[in-house]
Structure 1
Amino acid sequence: MVIKEVGFQCLDCGKILTTPTSLNTHMRIHTGEKPYVCKECGKRFSDTSAYRYHLLIHNGVKPFKCQDCGKAFKQKSLLRKHMTVHSGERKYSCSQCDRKFAYRESLKLHLRTHSGERPFKCTVCAKDFADKGYLKTHLKIHSNQKNYHCGVCGQKFIRIGVLNIHLRSHTGERPYHCTVCDKQFARLDHLKNHQRTHTGKCHGHYLM
């Protein structure tokens, strides 16, 4: 009986690939080779699909659109996270208090408020942070790096998220909805403060 071998086997991990090309691409997991380089930012990739996906960041394409509010996203995972704004789903609970979170990453960050853990340290001023993203933003203060420009008024911002919030002052966009009274807000923190007026836990005020 003749058994025909199907596919091409990786000698490092034993995985079977269907074509020599897919085997070559797979081997980059073991070799660390990243032959595709983004000309805009210098980031490297091991396969063409990840490289093309990354280019969406620079060309402004946002193919994933929210059917509830029309907001568009570059990545499907970002759209899925955004949908929790509309559903109000918070399936990650803190074991030390009654707070709940929509994302696992948010719960992990919150837990550091209980433990006091701040593992990310600035190499310039030694200030430490609970989240890597906070450190990254902080480092831009030292370099005075403001890469995000408002196309309407020309104002510059360190973070794209801050720019997006600023743009709502020009467009009047209010994507955050109160599920109790249907009031709308431009910023999530404004919505959270407003929701306390319904629960009787209002600790502060803000300007609309």
Structure 2
Amino acid sequence: MTRTTYSQFVCDHCDEGFRSAAALTRHCNMINLPLTHSCTKCMSQFHNHILLVTHKERCLRPAPSQHVCHICGKHLTTAFNLKNHLVRHAGTRRHKCDQCSASFYTAAELCSHQKTHTTERPYICRYNCGKTFRFCSARSMHERVHMDASKRIYQCEYCPKSYVTPSECRTHQKYHNLTRDHGCEICHISFKTAKHYRSHLKSNAHKTLEERAKAAAYPNSRGKNRSPN
């Protein structure tokens, strides 16, 4: 499947192109990209330069040109966004899936949902590892594994390791905070988790030292049951 490229709204991380700033923002949120660009007027933050530029064009407009929800007072950036916002207040999910009972407020939400009903995985890893994905955001998340450490934006606070997702980084950092409560008295090694300790007990190195410790403790045990000549 050939991907359509849109020249204006492009993700800095994976070079994927999108039809609108909103679509690019959703993509960046899904793959957990950091907010690195700030608006000097209102201090809002954005994932990349093109999103910041798009925001500034709207931010500099006078207040009357803003689109405000008459129900909750929320300010929207475009008439299209206001229209989609009002649909949610109405509570009407007009866009129904023809394969299950799910229904959605917008056509875009329905389109995204319908991909879960197909086995088609059109997004192929561009590092040729063979993996395929239903969504471009899932592919972008995966591809960080192949990139150098500078692209793995979640940095461990305690060591140089970095990770693709925040959950992976949090899981890793827990090990830095654990005490080594699981000690092997034979090998004089301690471990942070019971899992690692049990794995050690099954290792050949531990079993060898264990046999030597037994032999040293009972030096005559081997010939104890031997019959005299």
- Tell me, yes or no, whether TM beats 0.5: no
TM-score of the pair, normalised by structure 2: 0.41
Structure ID, larger Rg = 2
